[in-house]
A and B are shown apart, each in its own frame.
Chain A
């Protein structure tokens, strides 16, 4: 029997292992991995195709990570959880646990699409194996159609552009990166991507596939050799649901990462935790959050005390050298004050609401962006901040001198 069992072997699991070990150096840890790889940096799969990293360098931790931490890594899929008996079934075996963390991640969501079965070379873009399989099909003259202009679809587009003939990206939304960018910022990024050779079909969707042809709602047709489906992802909640855990869009957790079932925790892309920017429980499927939730779960599983109350949505993503940083929310009701600054090829938009910086988006020079992220995360009342300086630049000059002196003259 293992004292701790972790289902999943991604970054949340790595965080969980390190969290457990920060409290308990000895307890047995078993990790179940559905993928046949040690923990790797999932967002790097597009950088791999672009030639900016290697499979080896994508390892999230050193080669002796499991050994160093006394972890038994089982490269099999966990099939079910029996919460009453406190055991996990895998293959023909069972593993008992005292504390369980579900860090199962998420899976690509592929909506039913007419004629999809007739498409020979179609891929999702979520795992290292997806990336390796796609790579095998890339040819200098391949025409690629990517369905989905979100983070996954566009990183895929960037990763393969130099290796194929053409890349067309379609999306139902009227703009690129609609989950993180507003229309103004999306227009800047779209222009940049188009300049580099990506073709967009926005506010449009595939009505029907016929082998190598996609018929769009707009009646346009797209001929392609390779299809990438990057419509969206869904949290993997089934195991938790069957075990009796409360689920919604993700596995519902409290600020200690506990699910509704005693002894079971959840972390990462499968979990629905507290988002302090909206004050609601949401799936925040971003890597920093996965690590921090995993770590927090681990500490609590091992009998320590930790809670996470300051998670916010945030993203840093770049395309062909143009960077984008964003955090917090974009007030959709239009009640907040919006401050906009444009620079050569870039844009910065700050959203101020109720004497707080509620969110921001910067495209271009992202230097210092972390200071904006900080005052969103810390919900800093802007009466303690020089707002004119805040709008101008992201520097420590915006803070009261005594606060700044503490930051630079004290142990932090």
Chain B
């Protein structure tokens, strides 16, 4: 199962991943139109610890707590991808309460928001990885 992995050694903290993510999930074809002067809700975010920066996004856990905890039965894991059915989500944020990585976050519409690997948007592969200038985020198979 391919997942997104982060190498903080190479992260520049440029936040490009956040913009590429927000754009890929915006449904817009023009990046400026999608992002300019808008509050963005990327599904990957950069954190900083001293001089170190790194990207955080859903780990698509082997045994995901968010799936088991969702009060609406709106989160499921299928073929290795943890997904939120936004039509069922009521925005209670129990998933935010339990995600051990802080990777599920409140979204623009009140529903919870998280990385779904861009498999169903126009990008088709993780946009954060595709646009990372320094290979600090990769999408690959690793052993547990």
Where the two chains meet, the residues of A that have a C-beta atom closer than 8 Å to any C-beta of B are 15, 41, 43-44, 47, 52-53, 57-61, 287-288, 291-292, 295, 314-318, 321, 323, 325, 327, 366-371, 373-374, 386, 389, 394-397, 401, 404-405, 407-412
| Shortest distance between the CB of A53 and any CB in chain B (Å) | 6
With a cutoff of 8 Å between Cβ atoms, the chain B residues found around residue A405 in the complex are: 8
Chain A residue nearest to B54 (CB atoms) is A408
Q: How far is the CA of A47 from the CA of B71 in the complex (A)?
A: 12
With a cutoff of 8 Å between Cβ atoms, the chain B residues found around residue A371 in the complex are: 99-102
Q: Is B83 an interface residue (CB 8 A)?
A: no
With a cutoff of 8 Å between Cβ atoms, the chain A residues found around residue B55 in the complex are: 408
| Shortest distance between the CB of B22 and any CB in chain A (Å) | 16
| Shortest distance between the CB of B47 and any CB in chain A (Å) | 5
Q: How far is the CA of A327 from the CA of B48 in the complex (A)?
A: 25
| Shortest distance between the CB of A393 and any CB in chain B (Å) | 8
Q: Is B12 an interface residue (CB 8 A)?
A: no
- Interchain CB contact under 8 A, B6 and A409: yes
- Interchain CB contact under 8 A, B105 and A43: no
- Interchain CB contact under 8 A, A366 and B93: yes
- Interchain CB contact under 8 A, A408 and B6: yes
| Shortest distance between the CB of B83 and any CB in chain A (Å) | 14
Other A-B pairs, 10, CB within 8 Å; known A288-B98, A370-B102: A44-B72, A52-B90, A57-B88, A318-B92, A323-B93, A327-B97, A367-B96, A368-B102, A401-B8, A410-B142
Q: Is B13 an interface residue (CB 8 A)?
A: no
9 closest pairs, A vs B, by CB?
Answer: A288-B69, A397-B49, A368-B102, A370-B99, A411-B144, A60-B73, A316-B97, A374-B100, A408-B6
Total of A-B residue pairs, C-beta within 8 Å: 135
Complex interface bits, B53-86 against A, C-beta within 8 A gives 1, otherwise 0: 0111001011001001101110000000000000
Q: How far is the CA of A405 from the CA of B10 in the complex (A)?
A: 13
**Contact residue among B54, B72, B91, B144 (Cβ-Cβ distance under 8 Å from A410):** B144
Chain A residue nearest to B72 (CB atoms) is A41
With a cutoff of 8 Å between Cβ atoms, the chain B residues found around residue A367 in the complex are: 96, 102, 105-106
- Interchain CB contact under 8 A, B5 and A288: no
- Interchain CB contact under 8 A, A401 and B52: yes
| Shortest distance between the CB of A382 and any CB in chain B (Å) | 16
Q: Is B87 an interface residue (CB 8 A)?
A: yes
Q: How far is the CA of A408 from the CA of B97 in the complex (A)?
A: 19
| Shortest distance between the CB of A189 and any CB in chain B (Å) | 15
| Shortest distance between the CB of A159 and any CB in chain B (Å) | 11
**Contact residue among A325, A369, A389 (Cβ-Cβ distance under 8 Å from B49):** A389
With a cutoff of 8 Å between Cβ atoms, the chain A residues found around residue B95 in the complex are: 370
**Contact residue among B56, B61, B90, B99 (Cβ-Cβ distance under 8 Å from A47):** B90
Chain A residue nearest to B104 (CB atoms) is A370
| Shortest distance between the CB of B55 and any CB in chain A (Å) | 8
With a cutoff of 8 Å between Cβ atoms, the chain A residues found around residue B29 in the complex are: none
**Contact residue among B7, B71, B91, B102 (Cβ-Cβ distance under 8 Å from A43):** B71
- Interchain CB contact under 8 A, B88 and A53: yes
With a cutoff of 8 Å between Cβ atoms, the chain B residues found around residue A386 in the complex are: 49
- Interchain CB contact under 8 A, B56 and A408: yes
- Interchain CB contact under 8 A, A287 and B6: no
Chain A residue nearest to B97 (CB atoms) is A316
Q: How far is the CA of A220 from the CA of B73 in the complex (A)?
A: 43
Name, among B3, B7, B88, B102, the residue most crowded by chain A CB atoms within 10 Å (CB to CB). Answer: B102
- Interchain CB contact under 8 A, A408 and B8: yes
Q: How far is the CA of A189 from the CA of B123 in the complex (A)?
A: 41
- Chain B residues 8 to 54 lying within 8 A of chain A, measured CB to CB, are 8, 47-49, 52, 54
With a cutoff of 8 Å between Cβ atoms, the chain A residues found around residue B91 in the complex are: 52, 318
| Shortest distance between the CB of B26 and any CB in chain A (Å) | 20
- Interchain CB contact under 8 A, A291 and B68: yes
With a cutoff of 8 Å between Cβ atoms, the chain B residues found around residue A292 in the complex are: 68
- Interchain CB contact under 8 A, B48 and A288: no
Q: Given A53-B72, A288-B68, A368-B102, decide whether A411 and B142 contact each other with a Cβ distance below 8 A.
A: yes
Q: How far is the CA of A60 from the CA of B56 in the complex (A)?
A: 29
With a cutoff of 8 Å between Cβ atoms, the chain A residues found around residue B88 in the complex are: 53, 57
**Contact residue among A53, A61, A366 (Cβ-Cβ distance under 8 Å from B106):** A366
Chain A residue nearest to B1 (CB atoms) is A411
30 contacts between A and B (CB under 8 A): A41-B73, A44-B71, A53-B90, A57-B87, A288-B65, A291-B68, A291-B69, A316-B92, A316-B97, A318-B91, A325-B93, A327-B97, A366-B106, A367-B96, A367-B105, A367-B106, A369-B96, A369-B102, A370-B96, A370-B98, A371-B102, A394-B102, A395-B47, A395-B56, A395-B102, A397-B49, A404-B49, A408-B55, A411-B3, A411-B62
- Interchain CB contact under 8 A, A325 and B100: no
- Interchain CB contact under 8 A, A397 and B48: yes
**Contact residue among A291, A396, A411, A412 (Cβ-Cβ distance under 8 Å from B143):** A411
Q: How far is the CA of A47 from the CA of B74 in the complex (A)?
A: 14
**Contact residue among A57, A366, A404 (Cβ-Cβ distance under 8 Å from B96):** A366
